Amino acid sequence: MIRIFLLLFLSLSLFGAKVEHFKWENGVTYSEFLDINDLPSNELLHNLDDDNSKLIEELRAGFNCHLLRSDEGEIEQIIIPINDELQIHIYKTDKSYAFEAIPIISQTRVETLSIEIQTNPSVDIKNATGSYKIVSIFSNAYKKSLDFTALRKGDRLVMIYEQKYRLGKPFSMPRLLTSMIETRRKPNYIYLNTKDDRYYDKDGKQVEGFLLSQPVPGARISSRFTKRRFHPILKRWKAHTGVDFAARRGTPIKAAGNGTIIYAGWKGGYGNTIQIRHSDGYVTLYAHQKSFRRGMRRGKKVKQGQVIGYVGTTGRSTGPHLHFGLYKNGRPIDPLKVVQITTKKLQAKERKAFISLRNDYDAKIAQCIEKNEHYTKQVDFANECYFYNEAPLKIAKTDG
């Protein structure tokens, strides 16, 4: 039986059902959400396996969610994004409700912003785009390599970035590909090297300063990072937005970088958990700990390599290990990719590939300036709904 699982993104009727839109509110837990909407906690929370339980722990405020009600006001389906790859799908069955993780269907567009500085980059980018997220990716990319006091009115700024769209609206953080900003008419470039996902200047020098070390040195990796993977045996979608380090109970856990503890306590399926905020928009998460080192509390400043706790198996865990998560601007990223490049420099072959990439970006920036292109705010797509059965996901257009 075919069932609708992604809904019209405009408020309209669909086969006698009404679509509601809401943002996941800060501080609201998944359990509270079920209670508020009178949904069964056994089927949708307590009886979930470890993988789906960990998905719930990834819920973040601000995501656009969708709820479908029948004419009688009964909830038929709910869509709750977890990250930019997976979402929770709650749907009504003959007897109760069911829970599953399904992929997010999205489109990625490459967009360009070209403006002249009038006041300062943050204000001018916000005025042109209406997006604080675009302001954020620019500021984070340049803050360690540019003296903003040297900017003058009339200096040119160009950004080329990727933006995901879900149901016709911008979704998740944009990804800056390259940018150029003048300081007193002198151009300053940065480029995203897609081979290692780091930013470099025109000379191939890395411009980000965050260095990361492994939190349990020498430990065996028992599970790697993946945002979405279709399990060939279980026949369902899974996500593991972190890396698991298997180690004996009581093994010391070290802070991966300098920062400030923003959370230290029990965190649902993650058990005893510490979160540390670092520079450049990074946050690290250390879950399933046996106990914290004395003095580890919210607001405590820690240094890279400092012991913060001890490996355990608290929360939903099948054995002693550390679940280590890394987030940038709220978005989960693979910690191993960052770890692997802390001592890495562009070698001859890599440098040649980077120079080719740099030249391509330079040509696109020059073309943008020559054509004097301006940012165009996006308009909504035509109405869309998505269908799902046992086969792969399909899109169906509607006229509303």
Longest dimension (CA), the chain: 68
- Identify the domain boundary among 49, 70, 104: 104
In a domain, 7, yes or no: yes
In a domain, 14, yes or no: yes
> Which residue from 212, 163, 7 is spatially nearest to 89, judged by alpha carbons?
7
For residues 132 and 122, give the distance between their C-alpha atoms in angstroms, rounded to a whole number: 8
Q: pLDDT tens-digit profile of 128-171?
A: 999 999 998 998 888 767 777 788 899 999 999 999 988 778 88
- What's the CATH code of the domain at 88? 3.10.450.350
Q: pLDDT tens-digit profile of 173-184?
A: 899 999 999 988
Place of tokens 């204000």: 123
Do the Cβ atoms of 152 and 118 come closer than 8 Å? Answer: no
- What's the CATH code of the domain at 255? 2.70.70.10
> Which residue from 161, 189, 165 is spatially nearest to 175, judged by alpha carbons?
161
In a domain, 213, yes or no: no
Is residue 169 domain-shared with residue 239, that is, in the same domain?
A: no
Is residue 116 domain-shared with residue 98, that is, in the same domain?
A: no
Q: What's the predicted TM-score (pTM) here?
A: 0.66
Does residue 236 have a pLDDT over 50? yes
Higher pLDDT, 201 or 377: 201
Is residue 242 domain-shared with residue 305, that is, in the same domain?
A: yes
Is residue 83 domain-shared with residue 130, that is, in the same domain?
A: no
Q: How many other C-beta atoms are found inside a 10 Å radius of the C-beta of residue 34?
A: 17
> Which residue from 242, 227, 114, 133 is spatially nearest to 179, judged by alpha carbons?
114
For residues 145 and 188, give the distance between their C-alpha atoms in angstroms, rounded to a whole number: 9
Place of tokens 């802070």: 255
Is residue 225 domain-shared with residue 336, that is, in the same domain?
A: yes
Q: pLDDT tens-digit profile of 6-37?
A: 443 333 444 556 788 899 988 888 999 999 99
In a domain, 166, yes or no: yes
Per the structure, the count of domains in the chain is: 3
Structural domain that includes position 40: 3-104
Does residue 339 have a pLDDT over 90? no
Is residue 111 domain-shared with residue 100, that is, in the same domain?
A: no
For residues 386 and 197, give the distance between their C-alpha atoms in angstroms, rounded to a whole number: 32
Is residue 314 domain-shared with residue 250, that is, in the same domain?
A: yes
Mean pLDDT of 249-276: 93
SS3 33: helix
- Identify the domain boundary among 340, 362, 381: 340
Q: pLDDT tens-digit profile of 187-233?
A: 999 999 888 778 888 888 877 655 567 899 888 998 888 877 665 55
Residues in the chain: 400
Radius of gyration of the chain (CA): 23
Is residue 349 domain-shared with residue 302, that is, in the same domain?
A: no
